[in-house]
Chains A and B, each alone.
Chain A
Amino acid sequence: MELIRAEALSVGAGRRPVAEGIGFALAPGGILAVLGPNGAGKTTLFRTLLGLLAPHGGAVHLGGQPLGGLSRARIARHLAYVPQAMDVPFPYTVADYVLAGRSARLGPFAAPGRRDAARAAAALEELGIASLARHPVTRLSGGERQLAMIARALAQDAPALILDEPASALDFGNRERLAELLSGLAARGYGLVFSSHDPAFAVRLADRILAIGRDGRAAAGPARDMTTDARLGALYGLSAGAVRRARGG
Chain B
Amino acid sequence: MMPLSTRFSAGERRAVPPVLWAGLLLAAALVAAVLTGPFALSPGRILELAAARIAGQETPGAEAAVLFGIRLPRVAAAALAGAALATAGAAYQVTFRNPLVSPDILGVSAGAGLGAVLGIFLGLPVLAIQGLSFGFGLATVALVMAVAAAMGGRGETLTLVLCGMAIGALAGAGIALMKALADPDDQLPAMTFWLLGSLAGIRPGDVLLALPPMLAGLVPLVLLRWRTGLLAMGEDEARALGIETGRLRWMVIASATLITAAAVAAAGTIGWIGLMVPHMARLLAGSRFDRVLPVALLLGAALMVAIDTAARSLAATELPLGVLTAAIGAPVFLVLLARRGRGWS
B340 nearest CB neighbor, chain A only = A91
Query: B94, B98, B243, B288: which contacts A103 (Cβ < 8 A)?
Result: B243
B10 contact set on A, CB distance < 8 A: 93, 95, 133-134
In the complex, how many residue pairs between chain A and chain B have their CB atoms under 8 Å apart?
102
Are A76 and B242 in touch, CB under 8 angstroms?
yes
B226 in contact (CB, < 8 A): yes
Q: Say how far B4's CB is from chain A's closest CB, in angstroms.
A: 10
Among A2-10, A81-89, A194-202, A209-217, the stretch in contact with B: A81-89
B234 in contact (CB, < 8 A): yes
B227 in contact (CB, < 8 A): yes
Are B5 and A83 in touch, CB under 8 angstroms?
no
Are A73 and B232 in touch, CB under 8 angstroms?
no
The verdict on A103 contacting B9 (CB below 8 Å), with A89-B97, A90-B99 known, is no
A72 contact set on B, CB distance < 8 A: 239, 242-244
The verdict on A112 contacting B226 (CB below 8 Å), with A96-B9, A96-B288, A104-B242 known, is yes
Q: Say how far A79's CB is from chain B's closest CB, in angstroms.
A: 8
Interface size bracket, A side: 35 or more
Q: Which of A65-112 contact B (CB under 8 A)?
A: 71-73, 75-77, 79-81, 83, 87-93, 95-96, 100-101, 103-106, 108-112
| The 7 nearest A-B residue pairs measured at CB | A104-B242, A76-B242, A90-B287, A81-B240, A73-B242, A111-B226, A138-B345
Could you pull out 22 A-B pairs where Cβ atoms are within 8 angstroms?
A72-B242, A73-B243, A76-B240, A76-B241, A77-B242, A79-B240, A89-B97, A89-B99, A91-B287, A92-B288, A93-B5, A93-B6, A93-B286, A104-B242, A106-B226, A109-B223, A111-B290, A112-B226, A134-B10, A136-B3, A136-B5, A136-B287
Chain B residues proximal to chain A, CB less than 8 Å: 3, 5-6, 9-10, 94, 97-99, 223-227, 230, 232-234, 236-237, 239-244, 282, 286-288, 290, 344-345
